[in-house]
Structure 1
Amino acid sequence: MTRSLYLSNVRLADGQFVSVSSVDGRIEAIGAHVTAPPGAHLEDGGGALLLPGFVEGHTHIDKSNWGRPWYRNEVGPLLTDRISNEREWRKTSGHDAAAQSLALSRAFVQMGTTRLRTHVDIDTDARLRHLEGVLATRQTMHDVLEMQIVAFPQSGMLVRPGTVELLGSALTEGADVLGALDPALIDGDPVASLDATFALADRHGKPIDIHLHEPGEIGAFTLRLLLDRAETMGMQGRVVVSHGFCLGALPERERDALLDRIAHRRVALLTSAPPSRTVPPLKLCRKKGITMFGGNDGIRDTWSPYGVPDMLERAMLIGMRYDLRRDDDLMIAFDCVSEAAARGCGFADYGLRAGARADLVLVDAASVAHAVVARPVRKLVVSNGRIVARDGALA
């Protein structure tokens, strides 16, 4: 049975009033003189601003406490403290990755996110248990939330024998991307760690998304090794470096040389724009042709009490971190959670154009900049041609 939707009286970012028709989950036409398909469900947008569905480029839905009682955070200050604390807590608390990932996924959809990349912990304690929970959530939400799953060795890879094999099993079972974590500071051997990561990705034909928290010269050293392997293995355009804190702390000349190499190898960068860490230079990256996009990272988990599944809020935080004040600059912040995020993650058929997947968000805002700053209630959310939320509530 054909599923059709006709959305009239909505505004594009340039102020033009248009209508949108979609058939079977795809935008059929968008413009001032579009007519309704036969039998379409009709919706009057009331002059609201039309945005594309939002893209969450980096989160951890398997470990969230969203909707659960408050978690009292008394963890130590080191990265290894947080890793060990989380692994033990998940093992002893009864935390359910299936239930929590489903609750958070629904909240994302309610607030306008229609594409999402999530990292899922794979380790020798939990093995594939968390992955199985998130795979169940992906199946449940598949018609309204396009999800990529990253098999992520949160506790390290080489330091926990058997993890490489588990990561391979995760990729076979349905993970889309191979994750990695701080090859020097966690695995203790960046050469061997990156060799194992790229070999595994090559064997399974999967892209890579690496958490790189390593600071300064250590991070730069790891990044150079990674870029060498991306070129040698022919993985240009198939690698994301998440966080990349070192790129915000290097001397200008060294930083710019690394950015040129990143651009040449078409490596994308992900930032959550944390206020407490150095961050890659957003405008300079864009000027050099590097795809840089945004994500929440963890949301209400044992690592941090912060975060909400609202990509307009994340765009606002990106704007604040990078001192984006002009309306045109705030368009950059929104791009980080829309077009750039879709491009960086490799989500196809994205945007407000004929042929794209019909993922649409309506908000009462004067402009995109206004929407980012005010984060208004989502008047309407359409995912894959279906109305999934109305006036801030799931439909």
Structure 2
Amino acid sequence: MTTHRDHTDTTTTDGPEPAATLTTPGFVDAHIHPDKTTWGSTWLSREPVSSLSDLIAADLAAQLSADEDVETRAFRILDQAVRNGTMAMRAHVDVSSELGLRNVHGVRAAAERLKGVLDVQIVAFPQFGMLTNPGTLDLMEQALGEGADHVGGIDPVGLEGDLEGHLGAIFSLAEKHGRDLDIHLHDQGPDALAQIREIARRTLAAGMRGRVTIAHGFAVCDTEEPDLPATLDAMAEAGVWLATCALGDSPVPTLDLMERHGVRVALGSDGIRDSWSPFGTGSMVDRAHLLGYRTGARTDAELERCLRLATTSGAELVGAEAVLGYEGPGSPDRVEFAVPDAARLVVERPAPLRVVRGGRTI
């Protein structure tokens, strides 16, 4: 990623640093759940939970009791993201027998209101189970014709209890409709690493190299696992992406290790002010800051890498031409900040001076 500094005044050599504007590519949120957010709405108090199943149950209850429709809530966080320089995102949107396709329709309607300034890919996401939730698999296929762009999956073993069945179903959907695949994987330990290697194997067998993403992938964050190097090599060979979100106390990948093995990584927000977490702002600068903090970034190069994962790396994942086409201060798609360099942007987290899309300040 290239950023550019534009000094706007001059000083003597003994004076302060010249005032400067840093120009960056647009930001990409590679993993967000806009259908769940309460951003700008009534505060949601969260009860203690002890497992993934508890979180999922609380999530469904919160969605069913929401006093605003999905489009209204999703639009607010999408608009907030745009104001903070996000130009593209991959949105994971719940599809289930309980919710039907209302979330897909709502997020797509919200995205259409921002067409031209925000590119939104929707992943049909079986949050509440697919094989274990009768009717959801059929709805997943229906969603691909009613606003969803890609196929999602979730913990084939930890949640569904059927590795072959779950992967077989989602890979079949992706192959049949020519869509990419993005799989939530919260499972950890040797069995989870084995799941990842199976995902990589299927990716190559299906001719989908570079078109499969593992979201969270907590298993690859444990550097003590003896099977980790082989798993990372399998991911790299198959071009399987890792989308990480630097969440709370959740594991984060060792970025140097990912680079050494050739695993491509992109950064996302995950849930913002939803039943899972009270945190999140819709700013990918904030998220880059959190990633730097969680991974112990110290050097300018390490901080700049965090910014890259929030911009051009994410753009490679989602194919965001507005971000990939960035050429510097005169680019028609750019974000400008009142900081002298990328490292301080990640540390200080300023709001943008301006966001320019298609040559127009928005």
Range class of TM-score, shorter chain: over 0.9
How do 1:83-232 and structure 2 match up within 5 A?
A: 83-232=56-205
8 A contact 1:144–1:386 mirrored in 2: no
Query: Which of 332, 338, 341 is the aligned partner of 1:367?
Result: 341
Deviation at 1:329, TM superposition (A): 1.0
Equivalent residue for 1:13, pick from 3, 9, 12? 3
Divergent runs of 4+, >6 A: none
What displacement does 1:137 show?
0.8
- Give 1:31's aligned residue: none
Q: Secondary structure at the match of 2:31?
A: strand
Aligned residues: percent identity?
A: 36
- Please tell me whether the aligned partners of residues 190 and 225 of structure 2 are also in contact (alpha carbons under 8 angstroms): no
TM-score w.r.t. length of structure 1: 0.85
Aligned partner of 1:383 in structure 2 is: 357
Superposed CA offset, 1:216-247 (max 9, x none):
12211211221111111111110010100011
Q: Deviations over 1:45-88 (max 9, x none)?
A: x8411111111110101110000121110142211111112212
Could you list the runs of 5+ residues in structure 1 that have no partner in the other structure? 1-11, 19-45, 389-395
SS of corresponding position for 2:336? strand
CA RMSD of aligned residues (A): 1.8
Mapped to 2, the partners of 1:217 and 1:288 lie a distance apart of 18
1 CA distance for matches of 2:71 and 2:170?
27
Query: Is this contact kept in 2: 1:49–1:366, CA < 8 A?
Result: yes
Give the conservation status (yes or no) of the 8 Å contact 1:75–1:85. Answer: no
- How many residue pairs were aligned? 349
Q: CA deviation at 1:265?
A: 0.6
Determine the C-alpha separation between the residues in 1 that align with 2:232 and 2:226. 10
The one-letter code of the counterpart of 1:191 is E
Task: Tell me what 1:37 maps to.
Answer: none
What SS is found at the alignment partner of 1:151?
strand
Structure 1 position 357, deviation (Å): 7.7
- Could you tell me how far 1:280 is from its partner in structure 2? 2.5
- Indicate if the aligned counterparts of 2:30 and 2:266 stay in contact, CA closer than 8 A: yes
Q: Counterpart of 1:302?
A: 275
CA contact (8 A) 1:246 1:280 kept: no
Answering whether residue 227 of structure 2 is matched by residue 254 of structure 1, we say: yes
Does the 8 Å CA contact 2:7/2:21 hold for their aligned counterparts?
no
Query: Which amino acid counterpart does residue 357 of structure 2 have in structure 1?
Result: S
- How far did 1:274 drift? 2.5
> Aligned AA for 1:271?
T
Return closer, same or farther for 1:82/1:212 CA change in 2, 3 Å cut-off.
Answer: same
TM-score (normalised: structure 2): 0.92
Q: What is the rounded CA distance, in whole Å, between the counterparts of 2:149 and 2:30 in structure 1?
A: 14
Shift of 1:347: 2.3
Cα distance in 2 for partners of 1:180, 1:192 equals 12
